[in-house]
């Protein structure tokens, strides 16, 4: 079975998307005429509702085995995307994601939470089991949604004439590390993964695939640790686990030799600031861009 016969692209856009995403959608939908589902009407501001509505439309109208989710601020080269899908379709996993970083330098947030430690990403990587992931770039099986519908007590709803279930409804759960402590709220993507694992779903990350998370520039893996170089292969070591990812992962070059893929756009700005930090103060906007605390913050 080819990609066009097996996969439906579920297009959720909140503000039109970055140029790379629009190019990917255009090639998939208009050049190749592969299956594509979008929400009717204006862009959806509620991501949980939008994802659930898309899933319901797909489950109603299509019997393709897989759904492809790519957020409108994610860039993945076309040949990389096709290779990612073809590899994933040959596995027994129910959901396969790509790892990406939060849009803030030094955020400490890689959106897929690995079940093992450490993990190699890039050259030398492979499939690593995950406990949950962001839905920036995900391939998920039709049967996974079927099992959630069958086994979990989710109410039925009618969205756009498609009777479905709120698969992505956010949740409040107990922190496994502190059962007696405060409850933890998880977003729509991790809530789906929580439900998927509850019905026996197998979740993994293809750590060979690099995607870019577009904000004020294209954020890469290394930005989680404020690393100034881009590496062909990196080692990720979880330190403090949180429900939505992990805080301050230690990221190092897997071979201990820098193999830059490209210049990090923040490198020169950081160098300039390092050279003048004793004589002047950056504006609040620059402080936010560099991931520095607000002036006067303790």
* pLDDT surpassing 70 at residue 183: yes
Q: For the segment 226-272, what is each residue's pLDDT rounded down to a tens digit?
A: 655 777 787 777 654 333 333 444 555 554 433 334 444 444 444 44
pTM: predicted TM-score of the whole model, two decimal places: 0.78
* pLDDT surpassing 70 at residue 64: yes
Q: What is the pLDDT of residue 245?
A: 37
Token pair 């954020």 in the structure block, residue? 219
| The two three-digit tokens of residue 156, written as one number | 């039925």
Q: What is the pLDDT of residue 284?
A: 63
Q: What is the pLDDT of residue 265?
A: 43
Q: Between 219 and 241, where is the model more confident?
A: 219
- How remote is the C-alpha of 269 from its chain's centroid? 27
Which distant-in-sequence residues (6+ apart) come within 8 Å of 202 by Cβ? Answer: 92, 93, 94, 95, 129
* pLDDT surpassing 80 at residue 201: yes
Domains recognised in the chain with CATH numbers: 3-253 (3.90.550.40), 266-298 (no CATH)
Q: What is the pLDDT of residue 169?
A: 87
Q: What is the pLDDT of residue 200?
A: 93
Q: For the segment 129-164, what is each residue's pLDDT rounded down to a tens digit?
A: 999 999 999 999 999 999 998 888 777 777 666 667
Q: Is 65 exposed, middle or buried (0-12, 13-18, 19+ CB in 10 A)?
A: middle
Q: Quote the percentage of the chain above a pLDDT of 70.
A: 71
Token pair 């605390």 in the structure block, residue? 293
Rounded to the nearest 10 degrees, what angle do helices 188-198 and 142-151 cross at? 80
Q: What is the pLDDT of residue 133?
A: 94
Model confidence at 222, pLDDT cuts 50, 70, 90, reads: confident
| The two three-digit tokens of residue 4, written as one number | 């066009």
């Amino acid at each position: 079975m080819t990609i066009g016969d097996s996969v439906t692209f579920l297009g959720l856009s909140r503000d039109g998307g970055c140029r790379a995403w629009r190019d990917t959608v255009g090639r998939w939908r208009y050049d190749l005429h592969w299956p594509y589902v979008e929400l009717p009407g204006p862009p959806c501001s509620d991501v949980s509702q939008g994802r659930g509505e898309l899933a319901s439309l797909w489950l109603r109208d299509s019997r393709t085995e897989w759904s492809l989710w790519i957020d409108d601020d994610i860039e993945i080269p076309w040949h990389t995307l096709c290779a990612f899908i073809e590899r994933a379709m040959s596995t027994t996993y129910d959901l396969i994601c790509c790892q990406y970083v939060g849009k803030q330098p030094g955020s400490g947030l890689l959106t897929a939470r690995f079940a093992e430690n450490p993990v190699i990403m890039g050259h030398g990587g492979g499939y690593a089991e995950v406990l949950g992931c962001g839905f920036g770039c995900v391939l998920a099986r039709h049967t996974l949604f079927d099992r959630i519908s069958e086994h979990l007590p989710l109410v039925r709803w009618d969205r756009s004439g498609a009777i479905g279930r709120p698969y992505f409804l956010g949740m409040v759960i107990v922190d496994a590390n502190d059962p007696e402590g405060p409850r933890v709220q998880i977003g729509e993507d991790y809530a789906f993964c929580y439900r998927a694992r509850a019905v026996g779903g197998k979740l993994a990350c293809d750590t060979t695939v690099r995607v870019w998370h577009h904000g004020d520039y294209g954020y890469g893996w290394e930005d989680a640790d404020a690393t100034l170089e881009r590496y062909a292969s990196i080692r990720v070591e979880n330190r403090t686990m949180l429900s939505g990812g992990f805080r301050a992962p230690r990221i190092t070059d897997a071979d201990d030799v820098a193999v830059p893929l490209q210049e990090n756009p923040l490198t020169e700005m950081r160098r300039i600031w390092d050279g003048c930090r004793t004589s002047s103060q950056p504006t609040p906007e620059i402080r936010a861009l560099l991931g520095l605390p607000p002036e006067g913050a303790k």
